[in-house]
Every structure is written in C-alpha cells, then in structure tokens.
C-alpha cells in the first residue's frame, strides 16, 4: 500500500493526460488528493489548493468557436503547469476550471503563488495563427499577422490547517474563487474563516435556448431545468424561468428525453452572454448552498427516471413530479 501511494503521487504526473489541456484529469486529482492530505498531515505540513477559473470563458467559445476555446484552455493550462512545476501539480478540474495542489505551502505563500499565476496569464496573450482554419473561420480576411487574444483568470486559495481539514480544502478554495470572481475577476483571493461564515453561495452555468433580455444582478427563478451532463448540477439548461425584476416569464417547449425537473432555483444573475446567432442565452447564476443540495437530490431522481426509460421499465408514480417531455440530460 505504501509503495502504491508513492507511485500515485510521483510528480510531475506522467500518465494519461487530458487531451485539451495536457493536464492530469479530474480522476487523477481524486486519487492524489486523499493520499497527499494524509502524507502532508503525517508530516505536519500544509497542503495548499488553488482553484482557477478562466474569466468569461464562454465569450471565447461564442465569439471564436470551440476550437479556439480549446486553444485558450490549452494555453492557460500550459502556463500554469509550467509555473508550478517544481512546487506541485496542476489538474483539469472540469470545464474551464483548473486545480493546483502545492506541497508544504501555507495560505499566504499560496496566495502569492496564485497572484503570480494571475499575472503570468494576463501578461501572456494567446497568439493565433490566421492561417489556422479555426481562426480563419472566426475572422475571415484576418490578414497574415498573428492575432493576439488576451486572457485572464481568477483564483481562490486555501491551505490545510486549524480551520480547514481534509476534503474541505477544495470546497473552501472554491469559496475563495467565488469571492475573486464577484470582486472583479483577474485576481486571487484567500480563504479565511470569516469568508467561510459569509460565503454560502455557488455559481452555476445556465443555458437557455432562446434570446432573452437579462441584465447582470437581475433576480430570476428557474422553474424547469435539467443537467447538461449526467448528475452535474453546475451546468444546466433552463426551459422555464421568471425574471422577477420585470415580472416576465420565458418558456420553451422542445422534445427531449427524460422530462424537465420542476424545482424552483432562485438566484442572482452574475453575467450574461449570447451566441452570435442569438439561439442561446448563457448566464452565470449565483445561488444559495441549500438550493444546491435540493438540486442534487432532484437530479438524482431525474437520472433514475432516465435510467428506467432506457431500460424499458414502466414509469414510476414518482415520475409525475417531473415536467413534460421538454428536456433531458445526456445519459452517457
């Protein structure tokens, strides 16, 4: 077992890497984290987590296309992994989020490292080759000179210690990341016990299949929704929502598998983005943690319904709690 642990945490990690970022994937982070927590704890040394999010990442996908969005992810990931090479490892946490684990690093030192990462990324624009077909599609007639694409990140920092134990490390670093994002982005923030008392909210990504008039800081209630990925409530599609500020309601009915979840999600709009073809509206929605817990339970029941449908089983009486056939997550 001890030998297996030493192999698992041998860094830099040289196993299979995420194809877009060339970072160890989330599954590797899930294996490394408990081992590193135990080893650092046994030596009475701190382990620091830095949660990183690429600012306004959807704008790159919407304006330049997903191929360029992947280039942005790879560019940022390369800068981060190179910067922490001798201190720890960087992992792709999911979507545009990256997690860095730093050995024997307290919060103040971790915060200094996070600020260096913020500075490095903001000072290293991505240079796009106009001859690349993906770039040419986004910018027809863009000339022959490289195109400079500025990118920034936000970061949240937390280290193990008296106030943070074990698995709380990632959660509290994510709280600090939320503070960085709501404080203007392109910055780093450190977790503090006071922040733990104040931050009981989470930002989720919401996609609506239509063009709606929404402004930042608007209050809305999502009334029908479903996860875009199996059992992942951090990214959902809304099919029915109320804009409380104006009292208007937006609703679409489209056939899909599994039906929509009829569970109200009240929240505050943090940012709004629209596709160029105006077929989708994307927004970041800040919601309370107790709402997240309810969403998780609802998503579990929704997935059970999809599994029964795929297995050809008769509908359960509980299925009536879901909405009409207007939505469905990818069952894969």
pLDDT in tens, 51-77: 999 999 988 888 888 888 999 999 999
DSSP string, 270-330: EEEEE-TTSS-EEEEEEEEHHHHHHHHHHHHHHHHHHHHHHTTPPPPGGGGGS-SSS----
286: β partners: 203, 268
Domain of residue 97, residue span: 2-197
Percent with pLDDT over 90 in the chain: 34
Per-residue confidence band for 192, with pLDDT thresholds at 50, 70 and 90: confident
Answer whether residue 39 is part of any domain.
yes
Average pLDDT over residues 154-174: 82
**Average pLDDT rounded to a whole number, residues 10-32:** 86
Query: 3 or 281, which is more confident?
Result: 281
Residues 264 and 189 in one domain: no
- Residue 155's nearest CA partner among 216, 203, 100 is 100
The CATH number given to whatever domain includes residue 37 is 3.30.70.270
Task: Give me the mean pLDDT over the 168-178 stretch.
Answer: 85
Report the pLDDT value the prediction gives residue 276, as an integer from 0 to 100.
60
Are 221 and 241 contained in the same domain? yes
Identify whether 110 is part of a domain: yes
Domain end residue (candidates: 197, 226, 242): 197
Q: Does 327 reside within a domain? A: no
pTM of the model: 0.60
The single-letter DSSP state of residue 210 is S
- Tell me what pLDDT residue 49 has: 95
Question: What pLDDT, on a 0 to 100 scale, did the predictor assign at position 3?
Answer: 36
> Is there a single domain that holds both residue 142 and residue 234?
no
Residue 241 main-chain phi, psi, to 5 deg: -150, 155
Is the pLDDT higher at 97 or at 276?
97
Check residue 234 and give its pLDDT.
85
Is pLDDT above 70 for 316? no
Choice between 169 and 3, residue whose per-residue pLDDT is larger? 169
Given a cut of 70, whether residue 8 has pLDDT beyond it is: no
Asked if pLDDT for residue 314 goes beyond 50, the answer is yes
Query: Of 202 and 166, which is predicted with more confidence?
Result: 202
Residues 68 and 17 in one domain: yes
Q: Is the pLDDT of residue 198 over 80?
A: no
Mean pLDDT calculated for residue range 91-105:
93
Residue 329 in domain: no
Q: What is the pLDDT of residues 121-139, one digit of tens each?
A: 999 999 988 777 777 776 6
**Torsion-angle region of residue 2: left (phi > 0), alpha (psi -120 to 50) or beta?**
alpha
Q: What pairs with residue 171 in β-bridges?
A: none
Q: Which two tokens stand for residue 314?
A: 């008769």
Co-location of 104 and 81 in the same domain: yes
Residue 217 scores a pLDDT above 90: no
Mean pLDDT, the chain, integer: 81
Q: Which residue, of 180, 197, 214, is where some domain finishes? A: 197
My answer on whether 68 and 172 are in the same domain is yes
Q: What is the pLDDT of residue 114?
A: 97
Residues 37 and 131 in one domain: yes
Higher pLDDT, 11 or 220: 220
pLDDT score at 98: 96
For position 140, what pLDDT does the model report? 62
Domain count, the chain: 2
Most confident of 126-135, 171-180, 287-296: 171-180
Q: What is the pLDDT of residue 81?
A: 95
pLDDT at residue 227, rounded to an integer: 87
* Residue 312 belongs to some domain of the structure: yes
Same domain? For 155 and 217 the reply is no
Q: 211 and 149 share a domain?
A: no
Specify whether 147 is located in the same domain as 232.
no
Residue 225 counted as domain residue: yes
Domain membership flag for residue 255: yes
Residue 326 belongs to a domain:
no
Q: Are residues 143 and 242 in the same domain?
A: no
Q: What is the mean pLDDT of residues 222-241?
A: 86
Give the end of a domain, one of 150, 178, 197: 197
**What is the band of 154 on the pLDDT scale with cuts at 50, 70, 90?**
very high
Residue 327: predicted pLDDT: 34
Closest to 295 in 3D by CA, of 253, 232, 240, 203: 232
Same-domain status, 211 and 285: yes
């Amino acid at each position: 077992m001890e030998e297996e642990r030493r192999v698992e945490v041998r860094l830099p990690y040289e196993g299979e890497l995420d194809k877009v970022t060339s970072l160890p994937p989330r599954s590797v982070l899930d294996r490394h984290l408990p081992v590193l927590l135990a080893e650092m704890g046994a030596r009475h040394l701190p382990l620091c987590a830095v949660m990183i999010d690429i600012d306004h990442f959807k704008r790159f996908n919407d304006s330049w296309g997903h191929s360029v969005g992947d280039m942005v992810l790879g560019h940022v990931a390369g800068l981060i992994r190179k910067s922490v090479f001798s201190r720890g490892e960087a992992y792709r946490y999911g979507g545009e989020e990256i997690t860095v684990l730093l050995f024997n690093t307290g919060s103040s030192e971790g915060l200094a490292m996070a600020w260096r990462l913020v500075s490095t990324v903001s000072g290293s624009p991505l240079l796009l080759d106009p001859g690349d077909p993906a770039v040419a599609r986004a910018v027809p007639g863009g000339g022959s000179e490289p195109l400079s694409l500025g990118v920034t990140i936000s970061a949240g920092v937390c280290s193990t210690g008296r106030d943070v134990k074990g698995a709380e490390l990632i959660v509290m670093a994510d709280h600090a990341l939320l503070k960085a994002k709501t404080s203007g982005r392109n910055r780093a923030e450190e977790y503090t016990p006071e922040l733990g008392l104040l931050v009981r909210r989470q930002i989720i990504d919401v996609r609506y299949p239509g063009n709606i008039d929404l402004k930042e800081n608007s209050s809305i209630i999502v009334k029908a929704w479903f996860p875009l990925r199996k059992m992942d409530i951090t990214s959902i599609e809304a099919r029915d929502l109320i804009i409380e500020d104006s009292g208007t309601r937006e609703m679409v009915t489209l056939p899909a598998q599994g039906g929509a979840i009829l569970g109200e999600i009240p929240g505050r709009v943090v940012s709004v983005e629209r596709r160029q073809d105006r077929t989708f509206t994307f927004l970041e929605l800040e919601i309370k943690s107790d709402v997240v817990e309810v969403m998780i339970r609802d998503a579990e029941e929704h997935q059970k319904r999809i599994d029964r449908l795929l297995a050809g089983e008769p509908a359960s009486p509980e299925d009536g709690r879901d909405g009409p056939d207007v939505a469905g997550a990818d069952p894969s």
